[in-house]
Amino acid sequence: MKKFEFIFRKIVKQRGIRILTTFFLAIFPSHSLKVFAQLLMLSSILPHDMERGDDEVILQYPLRRLELFFFEFLTGSLFMIVAEFLSISLLKSHLGIHWKFFIFSRNISTLPYIYGICMLSAMYLKSSFIVPFILLIVDGLFCETAWRYISPVNAQTIWGFLIGLGIFTLAFGLYANPMRERGEVE
């Protein structure tokens, strides 16, 4: 638990204002605004550090890449999950439990996808926010077509979640690659 606590304190200390901003944005009932808040939150943690080259400094501590990847994701997701619980309990109190669960799972299921595209973008394009933001806009433009059934952002079916989980797994595999750990891959 010491490693997770270290990552949690680092994120809160370095990104406290952004955490508060995204937390309050995520409380509003709009799905689009929640996705934007998730992008702000998840692009400002490890992907932002990678963009600046700070992840190598963090890895000087006794942390492995896979721990850094998951602990940063869990920390960013934790804030978004708490905001979602607060949003549902305050703003959606008139809905039944089934609708609340649907809204919660729809909004939370986008987290792995957003983190995955932020990580891939930071690794290969050195842009942890702009490229994922453009991808989210393009995804939103096609949400009225058949794309909505497999959209990782719209997340109306299990296929969208599985695509998002696949992108998350790809980003994890590329970041936590043992060759990258030894410095053989750039």
pLDDT (0 to 100) of residue 185: 57
pLDDT (0 to 100) of residue 183: 57
pLDDT (0 to 100) of residue 106: 82
- Residue 44 phi/psi, 5-degree rounding, is -95, 0
pLDDT (0 to 100) of residue 116: 94
| Closest to 43 (Cα-Cα) out of 142, 160, 151, 171 | 171
pLDDT (0 to 100) of residue 97: 78
Q: What is the 3-state secondary structure (H, E, C) of 66-124?
A: HHHHHHHHHHHHHHHHHHHHHHHHHHCCCCCHHHHHHHHHHHHCCHHHHHHHHHHHHHH
Distance CA 167, CA 169 (A): 5
pLDDT (0 to 100) of residue 178: 65
Whole-prediction pTM: 0.88
Residues (pLDDT < 70) of the chain are 1, 92, 155, 178-186
* Mean pLDDT for all residues in the chain: 85
Would you state the structure tokens that stand for residue 143, as one six-digit string?
A: 């949400």
User: How is the chain split into domains, by residue range?
Assistant: 2-181
